[in-house]
Structure 1
Amino acid sequence: MSKFKKKKSGDLPPVSTASLPDIVFMLLFFFMVATVMREDELMIKNTLPQANQVEKLESKNKLVYIYIGKPTSSYQNQHGTNEVVQLGDKISSVSEVQTFINTKRNAMPEDVQDEMMVSLKVDRDSKVGILTDVKQELRDAMALKINYTASQGDPMININRRQ
């Protein structure tokens, strides 16, 4: 009797799985870095006005976005050509703003609810009437912290475009 057996010449060696966790973590890291989290799909024309004193907000997790502008050409058949309000991923009426804000506030953690801020992204060619209606709905919803989003630039361009 022999203690050692000869290897059979036709056997394949087993596949080494030692580097498999490294490969999995590299792929996971790649997809975490390369993935872009989509906020909202814009259904309106939203060319922001320009301002020269723009401040960047430090935390965007407390922001709720409301878009105001004319529908893009693909949505004009459904919603017309007048200014509309976009809440999240759908075009809504002004009367739905209060419900939208309360829903977003209730979805936030309790300690952050008082710090919630509404960011209005209003197209620079929009009329003030719909903006005033939205602001009244925000008052009724007790969402009193409002900021207006603008792009960095010369604010005189906004005035010159109107004339």
Structure 2
Amino acid sequence: MCEISSSICTSPIGLLSLTYCSKGLHFIGQIKSINDESFLPDENQTVEIQSWHGKLTMPESCLNWLRTYFHTPKKLTKTPELCPNVASEKGSFQESVWRALLDNVHFGQTITYGQLAELAGNKKAARAAGTAMLRNPFQIIVPCHRVIRSNGDIGNYSGGTRNLVKLWLLKHEKQ
């Protein structure tokens, strides 16, 4: 059982909510009120902890990774630790999809749902790969924004509620 702490931090894509334990991250994503209608990116916004609750402060490795991702991406290094209780369902296709995406699709690259399904071990499971992306609790870190449809469309980021965020992230990575 994990003892959970949480933080809210500022970022160029708005406030991020994070939950974590001593083993790593459980969740990172924009606060619920951010959607296509309320999204106001600010590429100059720094990444800083705004508040935290629990015994642990936000892991420094995660804070540094986010700062680097948004402001000096060419210096990106090792991904922050993800709690194995969340990231790992031994043998599950969902875990295989997350791992394939994290390990193979790098900053500035994109991949289709079908290609990702094949990387994860089942080339006929493009829809299941899409479901794994919808369930991804590690926004940006496990970069579901890099997964697009085979026709080049961006798909439905966060169930279609944050497509402008996905477009911003893809543009950010192409600069």
TM-score when normalising by structure 2:
0.24
TM-score when normalising by structure 1:
0.25
The structure whose Rg is larger is 1
- Higher RCO (CA-CA < 8 Å; seq separation 6+): 1
